[in-house]
Amino acid sequence: MAALSKEEKQRVFREQLNHLKENGYITDQEYKRLLQAQGAYLADYESLDKEQEVYQKKAQSEPVHKPKPAPKPKPVKKKKERSPEQIRERNITWTLILGVSILLITGLIVATSQWDQMGAATKVVSISFVSLFFFALSYGTGRFLKIKQTAFAFLTLGSLLIPIIIVAIGYFELFGPYLSLDGEGRHLLGLMGTAIPLPLYVRHAFVHRSRLYVWIALLFLSLSVGFMLGALPLSLDAFYLGLMLYNAGLLVAYIRFKNRNHLQLFIKEVPLFAQLNLVISTLLMLFFFENEVFYSFNLLLTASVYMAMVFVYKTKEYQFVFSVMLVYAVYQLVENTPLYAVDSLVYALVGVLYIGFAYAFRNHTFIEKVFRLTSGIVSFSAFIYITYESISIQEQSSSWLLLAAYVVIMVNYLVLSNVTKYVIFTYLAPVFFFVSMAQLWDLIQSGPWFFFLFTAASLLFLYGGIWTKVKWLQVLKDSNLYTSLFVLTGCLYYALYDLQYGYSAIMLLIVSVLSYFVKKSSAHADMKSTAVWVLPSGLVAASAIFYQKLLEWVPAYSEGYSISFHIALTGVLLLGLHYVWKKPEEDDFAMSTFYIAEGTYVAAMLILLVDDGVDPILVRPLLLLTGIGMVYLLVRYSKKTYYWSFVSVASLAFYTSLIDPLRIDSFSNVLMYMIFAPVVLIAIGEWGEKKSKGMRPHFYMLGHIVQPFLVLLILLNQLGRENVHPAVLMIPLAVYVFSALKAGRESGTKTMLYAALTTGYLFVAALPKELGWGEVPYEYAFLASSFLYAVLWFFVSAEWKKRIEWYIIPFSILGLFVVISDVPLEAEREWLLVIGYIVFNLFFLHQRSWSLVRFVPLILTFGLWEKLRVFWTDMDMILVLVLGILVLLGSGKLLQKRLFGPGIDADAYTWTALLYIGYLNLYTLWDESVWIRILPVVLLSLWFYLGGKKCSEKFLQSVFYTGAAVSLYGAYLMITASYSEYIPDLIIAEVQALPVLIVLAFLRKNIWSASAEMMSYVQFAALLLISGYLVVDAIQSHTIWDAWIIGGLSLASMVAGMQLRIKSYFLVGMGVLIFNIIYQTRPYWGNVPWWVYLLIAGLVLIGIASYNEWQKQRSESEKPVEQKWKKLWKAFKKWQ
């Protein structure tokens, strides 16, 4: 035996390694390690060989250096490309098949009219003849036409008709009622129908090497076995036992014959077929059975077959089926045997059984892993089932057996947590600990259940999550910790929901104690930092909940002090605890206690907003004054300047709380008192900034937050009779002006400036009522304010002008909208005031060059015209709108050079003119005179023409000029329609449609000359539409003159197309002419039966296939007709 090469040795080594890994003898890590070791060995071996070669070369006198051969590129798999001859052969084949099929369908349609008159034997003979006919077609197409695909297709059709013939024999009872579809021998008939053609299918499979016939043969083999078992006197369970034995037989046959070369065609398909067959048999067995114990035995046998397939067919997925079927078999066994008495414990032990399977297959990594996962899933499913059965079916939940089952499940997950790396198992173990505790409480009934579980969670939290040193519990430390936290939270929530205030306070105190131990003993830094905050928070929550219990003991505590005082006192006590923590140098607890104390006192001050039980004369101001001191300590302790916001808010609250002690009663007096609050805050900020840097912005901000609300209250006060004088608004106005001058940033300056301007408008709006000018509409306050702002704008510097423009423009636009919307404009020439206001807006918009914003005042003019239409006639409106359009077009031509651009700029005047044209159409649409009705269309044409002159791009310019031409054509149509009574009905459609061709010719020659190809498509589409319109008109008229006109126009189009070499005219003319001929001759061909067309289609397809087959055998010189057609086609392609 010759020695193996290095490559062959390497290949054999890899094959052996793969075999060892697939059968579970080595793991994936060992497989990779051995491959790496082999690679390292080969590298070292090759390096030794190279050193020997170098040594030998040095010994030679004249070494010869040979270049290394270039590495061979890896072959790239290319998609198989068909040659033109193969594509042509495929097309011929499918054409022939389609033609033959259509002929068969035609024959079937013609013949079925006589089907009911045929006898049973004649029908069976007819089906047999069809089968023989397909066999003959297969022989003919394969032997003479040499089209193998078609021959194989016909062979398949003929072969598959054989079992149909046998079924037909049974259906028509030609062998008697016993061997019929409903007779007692129906299974024997089925066996005949599957066994008789089986040898033929096996022969076809070997002769044609066809996988299709392999699967057909295997399918008929399974059907034969099924019918044979059905023919025997067996019970249903015994029948399925036979099917499972047959599936096991397929498994054994595969193992025995898989190395036989002559059977490889079938052996390759057996694994997939056997799996499919087993799955179908299993599904049938799951739904149909008689004896439950026998059924459970079948399930166990089936599960064993699936597990065997895992090793034989290397199909690891069937391990899951084995697991499911085993569980189902155990369920059937338990439910139908004496084991039912201890079913809960048995179901819980099933999960442990899968752990045993995992240990038994510990050398197979994948199988071991799946069994461990299955153990976890089965245990959880068992928990759900036994719990449901215990509560719903047996109507009881107190059972020591159920507790034992829960403990078994808990132990199962404890084991899985230690042998696997899945985090979910580590959480399920403590979950079932709590389930067991709940069941234990249900059995002993000791105290409230939520407090019992809270105690168990606390113990698990301390021992299982922090203190434990047990090896098996180390992996559960985190899960015990988090699960206990969840249970602690849930129990506390339930106690609060059930209004158990005493228990809730105790539980919160326990939480604080647990937090202390977490800080001292936990290894998690994040939990330590959390515990630092939980301890004081728990004390605050316990104190707050204890308030309800305190009210039961001292009801008078709620009168004068209430919850606000209680919470504030808690905050003060926590502040004292803060100083206690500082002595033993517990800095973390001291820090958290301080901030929680501050937050608690702030919460107490917030509760004062809704707490009516606090004494407003003494307790409320005292709490707020103390609050100022508390938040001041917060600023000093934290050294954060943003906490001055709390000091400012507390100061404002204290200032407001003095209303009751000062006996300020009326709303006006309160308003007068509160209007000075922003002044006081800003003054404190100015004074405090000298001593504490960073204090002023927070007092300024709060003062300016409060001031708008005070201004709003002043405005609401103006609605009453006893109102304060509007001059009070001068105080916030002065504050805003002072702040604008003092602001250091541009944003602050603008904000204060705009607030001052807004306050000035409010003063102007409120002043007429105080002066008795009730007849002046309030809307004119916008106009007056805009005028005052404009006066101010003229006298300030350029920098302040830019700031004012940002306000005056939107303010004036809003004022214009309000004036147009609300002012009735009943006074004579009052509308000119509105026009002036519009010009005022446009003036300032041109100062900023905001072209897009100019649309707003221009579009608002439509509202003005809508109000004036009540007082004006339609002719007045038409005249004004026409003048407006001309003015807008002229303004756009003078003030804007481009219709749009550069950037986001646009000509607002010209675009608004387009909207005016649409608005004008509403007034001219129903006018009696056509010359009035065409005004919008003519003006639209003018708009397109002027817009085109403003376009810099040639394409857009052409589009606008096209719009102008189309608009003029629309005016022409309107005039034609108006004077249609003077035009004969016979040519009215032509008069309306044919001028489109003139317009298209003009556009193509003068405007779109650079886009001749595109215009050709447009012209073709227009010709199609026009011809369709004229043809439909001719059909509706249905006179001989219409037919002559359509024929003449189509001939003229063809002649024009030929003379001018324009494809569209020639093709459209020819198409219309052909349609006209077909339509006029419809009575002759419309009465032919429909199946005649089907017959013609089949003959045409066969003829095309025959012609192409004939053309394949001829040379190029023998095709003069095709050469002439090619020359004509080349000449036609040169046309326009």
pLDDT digits (tens, 9 = 90+) for 1023-1037: 777 776 667 766 666
562: left (phi over 0), alpha (psi -120 to 50) or beta: left
Range 215-241 average pLDDT: 69
Cα-based distances in Å from 1054 to 679, 1059, 1068, 1069: 93, 9, 8, 5
- C-beta pairs of 648-651 under 8 Å, 24+ apart in sequence: 648/681, 648/684, 648/685, 648/698, 648/699, 648/701, 648/702, 649/702, 650/605, 650/624, 651/681, 651/684, 651/699
**Percent of the chain beyond pLDDT 70?**
63
Sign of the torsion formed by the C-alpha atoms of 461, 464, 465 and 466? positive
- Residues making up the chain, counted from first to last: 1136
Q: Which residues of 576-598 are buried (b: 16+ CB within 10 A; e: fewer)?
A: ebbeebeeeebeebbbbbbbbbb
pLDDT at 1130: 60
With CA atoms as reference, report the closest residue to 353 among 369, 337, 372.
372
Q: What's the CA gap between 985 and 995, in Å, rounded?
A: 17
With CA atoms as reference, report the closest residue to 137 among 128, 127, 147.
147
DSSP class of residue 1007 equals I
Backbone angles phi, psi at 290, to 5 degrees: -120, -55
Asked if residues 616 and 657 have their Cβ atoms less than 8 Å apart, the reply is yes
Please tell me which of 417-431, 672-686, 1031-1045 the model is most confident about, judged by mean pLDDT: 672-686
Q: Letter for the amino acid at 284?
A: L
Q: Is the pLDDT of residue 283 over 50?
A: yes
Q: What's the CA gap between 281 and 245, in Å, rounded?
A: 11
pLDDT at 782: 85
pLDDT at 119: 67
Q: What's the CA gap between 580 and 589, in Å, rounded?
A: 10
Q: Letter for the amino acid at 479?
A: S
Range 835-854 average pLDDT: 86
Quick one: the chain helix, strand, coil %, rounded to 5? 80, 0, 20
Higher pLDDT, 574 or 47: 574
Q: Is the pLDDT of residue 291 over 50?
A: no
Structure tokens at 367: 């199988």
Q: Is the pLDDT of residue 1050 over 80?
A: no
Q: What's the CA gap between 721 and 740, in Å, rounded?
A: 34
Q: Letter for the amino acid at 644?
A: W
Range 833-852 average pLDDT: 85
Q: What's the CA gap between 35 and 45, in Å, rounded?
A: 15
Structure tokens at 1118: 């023998």
800: left (phi over 0), alpha (psi -120 to 50) or beta: alpha
Range 713-717 average pLDDT: 81
Q: What's the CA gap between 608 and 587, in Å, rounded?
A: 32
Q: Any idea what the Cα angle at residue 301 is, between residues 295 and 307, rounded to 5°?
A: 140
pLDDT at 1113: 47
Q: What is the pLDDT of residues 170-195, one digit of tens each?
A: 777 777 777 777 777 777 777 787 78
Q: What's the CA gap between 310 and 322, in Å, rounded?
A: 9
* 661 CB-side CA count, 13 A: 13
Find how far residue 881's CA is from the centre of its chain.
50
pLDDT at 2: 45
Burial (CB count within 10 angstroms: exposed 0-12, middle 13-18, buried 19+), residue 1112: exposed
Higher pLDDT, 891 or 1107: 891
pLDDT at 288: 45
pLDDT at 100: 54
Unique residue bearing structure tokens 């059937």: 332
Which run of H or E residues covers position 960?
A: helix 954-978
Contacts for 564 with CB less than 8 Å, ≥ 6 apart: 604, 605, 607, 608, 611, 613, 614, 623
Q: Is the pLDDT of residue 57 over 50?
A: no
Q: What's the CA gap between 427 and 478, in Å, rounded?
A: 9
pLDDT at 313: 53
pLDDT at 146: 59
Model confidence band, residue 950 (pLDDT cutoffs 50, 70, 90): confident
Q: Is the pLDDT of residue 273 over 70?
A: no
Q: What is the pLDDT of residues 409-441, one digit of tens each?
A: 777 777 777 777 777 777 887 887 888 887 878
Q: Is the pLDDT of residue 644 over 50?
A: yes
Q: Any idea what the Cα angle at residue 106 is, between residues 105 and 110, rounded to 5°?
A: 115
* Mean pLDDT (the chain, rounded): 74
Model confidence band, residue 282 (pLDDT cutoffs 50, 70, 90): low
Model confidence band, residue 1092 (pLDDT cutoffs 50, 70, 90): low
Range 1074-1093 average pLDDT: 62
Higher pLDDT, 1012 or 770: 770
Q: What SS3 state is found at 900?
A: strand
Q: Any idea what the Cα angle at residue 980 is, between residues 978 and 983, rounded to 5°?
A: 150
pLDDT at 924: 86
Rg (CA), the chain: 50
DSSP class of residue 468 equals -
With CA atoms as reference, report the closest residue to 937 among 901, 991, 973, 910.
973
With CA atoms as reference, report the closest residue to 241 among 286, 306, 187, 297.
297
Q: What's the CA gap between 57 and 50, in Å, rounded?
A: 10
Burial (CB count within 10 angstroms: exposed 0-12, middle 13-18, buried 19+), residue 381: middle
Higher pLDDT, 354 or 501: 501
Model confidence band, residue 545 (pLDDT cutoffs 50, 70, 90): confident
Model confidence band, residue 384 (pLDDT cutoffs 50, 70, 90): low
Which run of H or E residues covers position 599?
A: helix 587-607
Asked if residues 713 and 671 have their Cβ atoms less than 8 Å apart, the reply is yes
Cα-based distances in Å from 281 to 188, 276, 1078: 20, 9, 63
Higher pLDDT, 1131 or 999: 999
Tally of CB atoms within 10 A around 217? 23
Q: What SS3 state is found at 208?
A: helix
Instruction: Taking each helix axis as running N to C, give the angle between helix 525-553 and helix 562-582, from 0 to 180 degrees, rounded to the nearest 10.
Output: 140
Q: What's the CA gap between 600 and 596, in Å, rounded?
A: 6
Beta-bridge mates of residue 906: 900
Tally of CB atoms within 10 A around 21? 17
pLDDT at 324: 65
- Whether the bond into 902 is cis, omega within 30 of 0: yes
Structure tokens at 392: 């719903």
Structure tokens at 255: 């193992």
* 216 CB-side CA count, 13 A: 22
Q: Letter for the amino acid at 658?
A: L
Burial (CB count within 10 angstroms: exposed 0-12, middle 13-18, buried 19+), residue 38: middle
Segments making up each domain of the chain, as ranges: 6-37+39-48, 872-982, 1018-1112+1125-1136
pLDDT at 588: 82
Structure tokens at 1090: 């429909």
Q: Is the pLDDT of residue 854 over 80?
A: yes
Range 625-649 average pLDDT: 87
pLDDT at 1095: 62
Beta strands in 667-731 (DSSP E): none
Which run of H or E residues covers position 762?
A: helix 746-771
Tally of CB atoms within 10 A around 773? 9
pLDDT at 900: 78
Q: What's the CA gap between 1034 and 1023, in Å, rounded?
A: 16
Q: Is the pLDDT of residue 733 over 50?
A: yes
Backbone angles phi, psi at 18, to 5 degrees: -60, -40
Q: Is the pLDDT of residue 801 over 60?
A: yes
